[in-house]
Copies of this chain bind each other. A is one copy, B any other.
Amino acid sequence: MPKVCRACEARHGGICSVLTGSQLAELNKHSNRKSIDGGTELVGQGENIGTYSNIVRGVVKLSKMMADGRQQIVGLQFAPDFLGRPFSHESSLTAEAATNTEVCAFPRAVLERMIADTPELEHRLYDQSLKELDEARDWMLTLGRKTAREKVASFLHLIATHVDPDAGDGCEFELPLSRADIADFLGLTIETVSRQMTKLRKDKIILVENNRHVIVPDIENLNEAAGND
């Protein structure tokens, strides 16, 4: 097994976990680790897709933009997620690093060949896409039917559960997104996000330090504010 893979997150929870040693070596021969600053675009909407990646560290936002500039974030991906849309050569969305990010990139052709003769790999990818579909549909409920307050609480709850999946009742984290990004994720404006954060703060549901650092004393209160039964 290649030594870069040994401590790699994708080797554990990611798609590489289903590959054999020789497949890992083969993929590794063509793969390429990159560090990416927050704000950098990885793939543009409508662009040709030449490479797929695994997210090794950081958070990537997937977004769609309308002709007049209105924007919607349609998904967040965390390490060790696979990044790409197999079997489509043109991207229907933009992928941009939200935080400083590290990815492991490999050419499309190499992976697609490997998919073709490794059912377990395709199964693993299918599994991720089903997970993403569940998440997208959950978010559709949030976008379509929740109030601004519930939307902001839902976002904080999402981050809280992703950063620290097995926390007890309380938890604490850095927001990976700016207010502008949060607004684009929730279908709101920056101002509304800010106002609702302030209200949640006043209601003691969260504590905020330095704008980006959030403390949740009781995750169940946050879940309730998010409108989840």
For chain A, the bracket of interface size reads 35 or more
Contacts of A74 in B (CB 8 A): 137, 140-141
A residues near B (Cβ < 8 Å) are 62, 64, 66-68, 70-72, 74-75, 85-88, 92-93, 119, 122-123, 125-127, 129-130, 132-134, 136-141, 143-146, 186-187, 227-229
A62 CB, nearest partner CB in chain B, Å? 8
A126 to B88, CA, bound (A): 13
Task: Determine which of B137, B139, B146, B187 lies in contact with A145 in the assembled complex, contact meaning CB atoms within 8 Å.
Answer: B187
Find out whether the CB atom of A66 lies under 8 angstroms from the CB atom of B141: yes
Task: Determine which of B75, B92, B132, B187 lies in contact with A144 in the assembled complex, contact meaning CB atoms within 8 Å.
Answer: B187
Closest B-chain residue to A129, C-beta based?
B129
Contacts of A122 in B (CB 8 A): 119, 122-123, 126
Q: Can you name 15 extra interface pairs (CB under 8 A) apart from A66-B227, A129-B129?
A: A70-B146, A71-B145, A72-B144, A86-B130, A92-B134, A119-B119, A122-B126, A126-B126, A129-B130, A129-B133, A139-B140, A140-B143, A143-B143, A143-B144, A144-B187
Contacts of A93 in B (CB 8 A): 137
Contacts of A85 in B (CB 8 A): 130, 134
Q: How many copies does the complex hold?
A: 2
On whether A70 and B145 interact (CB within 8 A), knowing A64-B137, A119-B119, the answer reads yes
A47 to B92, CA, bound (A): 34
Find out whether the CB atom of B138 lies under 8 angstroms from the CB atom of A137: no
Find out whether the CB atom of A138 lies under 8 angstroms from the CB atom of B64: yes
On whether A87 and B127 interact (CB within 8 A), knowing A66-B145, A119-B122, A143-B143, the answer reads yes
A139 to B141, CA, bound (A): 11
Contacts of A71 in B (CB 8 A): 145
